[in-house]
Amino acid sequence: MEKQFNRQSQTKSGRSCGMEGYNFAYLDEQTKRMIRRTILKAVAIPGHQVPFGSREMPLPYGWGTGGMQITASLIGSEDILKVIDQGADDTTNAVSIRRFFSRTAGVLTTTKTIEATIIQTRHRIPETHLTNDQIIVYQVPIPEPLRFIEPRAKEVSRMHALREYGIMFVKLYEDISRHGRIAKAFDYPVLVNDRYVMSPSPIPKFDNPKMDRMPALQLFGAGREKRIYAVPPYTKVKSLDFDDYPFEVERWPQCCALCGSNNSYLDEIILDDKGSKMFVCSDTNHCNERVIKGHKGNQKEPVEEAQNSTMTGARKCA
Amino acid sequence: MCMKDSNHIPLLKVKSISKYYGRRIGCSGIEFELWPGEVLGIVGESGSGKTTLLNCISGQLEPSEGAVWYASNGGVIDMCIAPEPQRRLVMRTEMGTVYQNPRDGLRMHVSAGGNIGERLMANGLRHYGQVRRKALNWLEKVEIDSERIDDVPTTFSGGMQQRLQIARNLVTDPRLIFMDEPTSGLDVSVQARLLDLLKGLVTELDLSMVMVTHDLAVTRLLAHRLIVMKDGKAVESGLTDQVLDDPQHPYTQLLVSSILQP
């Protein structure tokens, strides 16, 4: 809890040299070349999954090995890297990957979205609009959106090739018939460039509209599944839906308790065992920037209030 | 035949189809024509190449030799050499296949409504309400309680699964249905109901059908014409009553005489 409110924007941690005995950014040059070739192909066919020879990385599959390999093969000494995990710069995954690249590539790192040239992310897209000189790298656990409904890989690749995506709508149909609405809240399937159905990685569907015609290059890496795919800048990305059940994003009953933002993705935080909770921005950088600019939420001293359990659910935003 | 007068070309024209599995013969030199509204039965003992033939003409298996001309809505195409996208489009809009085992034809973890709706959505329908309405409509047509629309097929009886398979195939109003032993594995009373339903649907929707079966009673009830197969070859063909009442080939005679008379 304490940690949540002591976030510091630790900009530009010192520039150190690459680790002794390791190549720049860990991977050897041949591997980087192979991955860059894969990325080029992926960019050329937006949304299409391109296989690549995924390497062992010094952390387990599922921790972002795919994203790290993309970052490692793109990063140059002049780049500034930001790594987020669930929107936050200070969670384990983000901290360790950021440290990995500052040690193996000696690059500058930042927590500020606007400063970064490469942003590696797990589960979120930053709230700040990305620009066309930035690259966002997604960590992807399961790249195949059709897998859970059609387990045969051969059949699935044929469906992609022939653009037979009726089955994806069967999934949405099942959701509506069971829950009365499309219940998929993350990893919500999208149609890229009117051609390929793509898994946007487990970002909340709140972030899906941000992918549409995004000025930044979007790259997706799945290390275990050995796939890379991409959405080039300014490409159309449409979330799948029905005419009578249109796609919509999450809404919250409150604003961010810290910065009062009413248009960012909020995390629900349980404060005690008496049912008190607060909603705060999941994008820590966005939240901090707003607090610095003087925006306030309904909690001025969140830690003390939390301890006293005086929070009530329905307060007005600042 | 009177059907020839109303329609000038056959719906399906099979030209000397052969399928070899290495040196083994699956089926060899089969030829027939199927006219709109006609039901063709293919009978024979197990291993005689019935299913191989059906798979070849329904585009699921590539034949070693021969051609299958299909008069689609967009013109006559050769199913054996047509490009895959075109072939698959025709197969999911104008044709349907009902398998012997419902597990091959249904998505067992998807609800009945989803199973029926899949082809509609594959053909571009993007309106939940319409998919739902059509699914309910078809459940009613195949005599499945509309309350079961959100249940998965694993909770259905064998006969219901088979009827669901039929609904799933007929929802796009196809012109041609392939059936591979649709009634085997069902008990006699359920079989009778299914056949009754099929007979009604065939006349109501003016369907053409190629039906593989080893059950001569089924063909007697449904098929207009019969092809008798043995060891991969068609040994006899003709009108159903003609073949069953006056079999010419010794094998057909054996087959007909082996039916138990109740």
Report chain B residues whose CB lies below 8 A from the CB of A241.
126
Question: Chain A closest CA to B230's CA: distance in Å?
Answer: 33
Residue A269, phi then psi, degrees to nearest 5: -115, 125
The reported pTM is 0.84
CA A245 to chain CA centroid, nearest Å:
26
B117–A173: do the CB atoms touch at under 8 Å? yes
Question: Per residue in A32-75, pLDDT tens?
Answer: 999 999 999 999 999 999 999 999 999 899 899 999 999 999 99
Percent of chain A exceeding pLDDT 70 equals 88
Q: By CA distance, what is A177's nearest residue in B?
A: B150
* Residues of A annotated catalytic, as ranges: 47, 256, 259, 281, 287
**Predicted ipTM of the assembly:** 0.86
Question: Per residue in A73-92, pLDDT tens?
Answer: 999 999 999 999 999 999 99
**Alpha-carbon span A221 to A139, nearest angstrom:** 6
**Alpha-carbon span A171 to A169, nearest angstrom:** 5
**Alpha-carbon span B174 to A40, nearest angstrom:** 43
Instruction: Select from A158, A174, A243 the Cβ nearest to the Cβ of B127.
Output: A243
Identify whether the C-beta of residue A241 lies closer than 8 Å to the C-beta of residue A281: no
Q: What angle, 0 to 180 degrees and rounded to 10, lies between the N-to-C axes of helices B158-170 and B112-122?
A: 20
Does B86 contact A at CB distance below 8 Å?
A: no
For residue A57, give every residue at least 6 positions away whose Cβ sits within 8 Å of its Cβ, in sequence order, or none: A26, A65, A68, A69, A223
- Whether residue B128 has pLDDT greater than 50: yes
Take residue B67 and report the two structure tokens written for it: 């051609």
Window 186-245 of B, Cβ < 8 Å to A: none
Q: Is A254 exposed, middle or buried (0-12, 13-18, 19+ CB in 10 A)?
A: buried
Residue B148's nearest CA partner among B159, B160, B133, B158 is B160
B128–A178: do the CB atoms touch at under 8 Å? no
Question: Chain B closest CA to A169's CA: distance in Å?
Answer: 6
- Which SS3 state, helix, strand or coil, does residue B107 take? coil
**Alpha-carbon span A135 to A74, nearest angstrom:** 9
Residue B222's nearest CA partner among B43, B5, B13 is B43
pLDDT band at A23 (very low <50, low <70, confident <90, very high): confident
Strand-pair category, A277-281 with A266-270:
antiparallel
**Alpha-carbon span B45 to B188, nearest angstrom:** 20
Task: Name which of A156, A164, A177, A242 to mutate to probe chain B: the one with the most chain B Cβ atoms within 10 A of its Cβ.
Answer: A177
A243–B119: do the CB atoms touch at under 8 Å? no
* pLDDT confidence of residue A5: 34
Average per-residue pLDDT for chain B? 89
Does B153 contact A at CB distance below 8 Å?
A: no
